[in-house]
Amino acid sequence: MGKVILIRHGESELNAKGVYYGSLDPSLTELGKEQAKNTRNILKNIDYHRIYASDLKRAFDTASIVNFKDLNIVVDKGLRELNFGVFEGFTFEEIQTKYPKELEESQKNWKDYNYVTGESVVELQNRAIDFIAQNINLNENTVLVTHWGVINTILSHYFSKGLDAYWKFSVKNAGVVIIEFSDGYPILKGLNIGV
C-alpha cells in the first residue's frame, strides 16, 4: 500500500495578478513561501520515499521548502501546468477583448480545446497519467509538487475515469492531497490538508 502525495505550489506572483499562466515561470510571493513552510510542517507527519517537482520555479521552490527529509528532488517537465498558449499572461477580461472566439471555443469544448499554441486538458491529463505510470511505484509514498491543473486531472482520472470530475476539486495553494493505493485501487485520503 502506497500513497501519492500531491502538493500544489504556493502562491506565485501571477496568482496574485489573476492572469492565465501555465508555462510562464513566475516566482513565489512571500505569502507563497509562508504557505510552503506551513505545508512542510504537515509533511513532517507523512513518510515519503521520493519527491518530484515540476521544472517551473514556483513548484520547484515549493518542493525545496516542503522537503524536510532533504531527499533529491527529481525535476520533470511532465508535471508542468497546462500550457494556455495565446491566453498566457492575460486576465480573463483581456482575453475576452483579444481572443473572444478562442475564449468561447475554449469554454464550449474545454476538454479538447488546445488554446492555440498550447495544449488541451485531455493532453495535460494524458501527460500527467503517463508520468505516474512511468515513474511512480504505487507501493511507496511519493510526493509530487505540481500545479492545479495537473492535480485535478490526476484526481479526475482516478475518481471519474476521465475528466468528468476535473472541475469538482478545489486545491488551494500549498494544499496537500493524498491518494492511497490499495492493490492499485485509489482511495482519496485527504484534500487541502493544512490549508
The catalytic site residues sit at 9, 81
The three cell numbers of residue 65 are 521548502
In the numeric block, the cell 505550489 is attached to 9
Q: What is the CA radius of gyration of the chain?
A: 16
Look up residue 128 and give its amino acid: A
Rounded CA separation 8/76 (Å):
15
Collapsing DSSP to helix, strand or coil, 21 comes out as coil
Contact 5, 139 (CB under 8 A): no
CB 154 within 8 A of CB 16: no
Inter-residue contact 123 to 114 (CB < 8 Å): yes
User: How many CB atoms are closer than 10 A to CB 172?
Assistant: 15
